[in-house]
Amino acid sequence: MNEQTSRAQESKRRGERRYRQTWPPRWPEITDDGVRQVMGRFPRERFVSEPYSAWAYDDRPLPIGFGQTISQPFIVAFMTQALRLRPGDRVLEVGTGSGYQTAILAALCAHVDSVEVVPELAAAAKVRLQEMGRQNVDIHVADGYQGWPPGAPYDAIIVTAAPAQVPPALEKQLAPEGRLVIPVGAALDDQTLWLIEKHNQQLKRSSLTLVRFVPLVAGAAN
């Protein structure tokens, strides 16, 4: 290792320590102290590849390969808060990605089933979560449009990529009083983040904010 590389790595480590001392930011929209505390427990740099770790604490999405991203931290907090998770909840996550959102969910509920269409991402996320001691997560390589029927119904469902329409299978897999948070809309355009709540077998839809997510990919890889 040459001197220039060593200095760069030490500078990066100092930056990470500085950011973590004030992490997460005090976003005025995030009022759930439980969500804030949990986000402070998981080092985001462990969920991104080396070229991007210096930006791990920037409030922006970062590439994780295969055309996918780790979501902007504020959006992770915002969507998690919208789920109103309780300790006994069973949660379905559609789009494991890096596993960062998965880790946050698993720290706030009883169990997470997470579905990922890209086998390589699923395998890497599984290793990260095991290294962090998360025992209440099962990751499945499957088509997110179909949810995960073997584990249904779910108290909460979160989708971390955007379909053009809400997949009917996900609505069907909501438990009574269940909550679904999902971005919907065309790729590369403003999308709407929806909260869908199930009351007395009826679905209530509330628009939360405008977002931009990568598209939800159909079909499980062989």
Q: Which of 11, 53, 71, 98 is catalytic?
A: 71
50 burial via Cβ count (<10 Å: 0-12, 13-18, 19+): exposed
Contact 78, 59 (CB under 8 A): no
Residue 147 φ then ψ, to 5°: 65, -145
> d(Cα 57, Cα 102) in Å, to the nearest integer?
18
Residue 181, number of CB atoms within 10 A of its CB: 21
Cα Dmax for the chain: 65
> d(Cα 144, Cα 10) in Å, to the nearest integer?
40
CA-to-CA separations, 198 to 98, 118, 132, 146, 170, in angstroms, rounded: 29, 30, 33, 18, 12
- Based on the residue annotation, tell me whether 207 is a catalytic residue of this protein: no
- What stretch of H or E contains 157? strand 154-159
Question: Would you name the residues annotated as active-site residues?
Answer: 71
